Amino acid sequence: MTEPAPLLTLDGRQSAAAAAIQRGVTRLLRAHGFATLTEVTLASGNRADVLAIGRSGELFIVEIKSSLADFRSDRKWPNYCDYCDRFYFAAGADFDQAVLPPDRGLIIADRHGGEFVRHPADDRLAAGRRRAVTLLFARLAAARLQSGLDPDFTSP
């Protein structure tokens, strides 16, 4: 019997620093009762670094910034706010926090965990968008689980 494929693998697009921040962010969110998925393509076509859903259905998106150049070259992050109740940036401890918009949340993380530095105001999603993002989360989580349990399956 062969071992199933790992359920979480890096897709090669992340730097080592971004992967470490991602791990710390997901650990922090899980400790606060959230389920998380990484690298989630939204209906807009943009890919969220971390999408999290809480016990009462609240949706958070976390955009990881591993360097100042990464932040300065990113023009898509404002679009993520249309798909979550709260939007956070996550960065390492050495990141210059002053460049990040003060009205957005901030998480400082490393591979061992993270901490909330500031929380943004809630920007509640409309019911239709909430349903769509929640279904995306559920279907993607189930598909990833099934792929890990049965890696040899191919769709007809």
Unique residue bearing structure tokens 């769509």: 132
Pick the range with the lowest mean pLDDT from 10-24, 62-76, 99-113, 133-147.
10-24
CB-CB contact of 85 with 126 (8 Å): no
Listed by start position, the domains of the chain span: 16-149
Q: How many CB atoms are closer than 10 A to CB 144?
A: 15
The most distant pair of C-alpha atoms in the chain lies apart, rounded to whole Å, by 53
Amino acid 75: pLDDT:
87
Amino acid 79: pLDDT:
94
Burial-class residue 132 by CB neighbours within 10 Å (0-12, 13-18, 19+): middle
CB-CB contact of 25 with 114 (8 Å): yes
Beta-ladder partners of 50: 38, 62
Query: pTM for the complete prediction?
Result: 0.89
What is the rounded CA–CA span in Å between residue 122 and residue 37? 21
